[in-house]
A and B are shown apart, each in its own frame.
Chain A
Amino acid sequence: MAACAEVLAASLDADNIVEHDARQRLRALLVDHLDNDLASEAVLLDAFRGRIPDE
Chain B
Amino acid sequence: MNDIERTRLEDYVSRQRGVRTTIADVRRLSVGHSRAMHRVDTDGGTFVVRVEQGGVFGTRSGEEFGLMRGLADAGYPVAPALWYEPTGDVLGQPFFVMGFVEGEELADERAMDESTAADFVRVLAELHAVDWEGAGIKTDIVPDSPSVATHLQIERWADIYRAAAPTVIPLLEEAAAWLHRHAPPLERVSVVHGDAGPGNVVQANGRIVAVTDWEFAHLGDPAEDWSFCLAMRGARTMPRETWMALFDQIAGVRMNEETWTYWEAFNLFKGACANTTCLAVFESGANRAPNMAIIGTVLHRSFLRRLVDLVGPS
- Which A residues have a C-beta under 8 Å from some C-beta of B? 1-2, 4-10, 12-14, 23-24, 27, 30-31, 34-35, 37-38, 41-42, 44-45, 47-48
Contact = CB atoms under 8 A, between A and B. Distances in A.
A44 B170 contact: no
A8 B167 contact: no
Chain A CB count within 10 A is highest, among B169, B181, B291, B298, for B298
B30 interface: no
B5 interface: no
A48 B298 contact: yes
Q: Is the interface of B mostly helix, strand, loop or mixed?
A: helix
Nearest to A23: B313
B101 interface: no
A10 B294 CA distance: 31
Contact of B177 (A1, A9, A14, A27): A9
Size class of the B contact interface (CB-based, 8 Å): 20 to 34
B73 interface: no
12 contacts: A1-B169, A5-B173, A5-B174, A8-B174, A9-B176, A24-B313, A34-B171, A37-B298, A44-B298, A45-B298, A48-B294, A48-B295
B308 A34 contact: yes
B304 interface: yes
**Would you list the 6 A-B pairs with minimal beta carbon distance, nearest first?**
A5-B173, A9-B177, A8-B174, A41-B298, A4-B170, A5-B170
A26 to B, nearest CB: 8
Given A5-B174, A24-B313, A38-B298, 14 more contacts: A1-B168, A2-B168, A6-B173, A7-B170, A8-B170, A8-B173, A8-B177, A9-B173, A9-B174, A31-B308, A38-B305, A41-B297, A48-B294, A48-B298
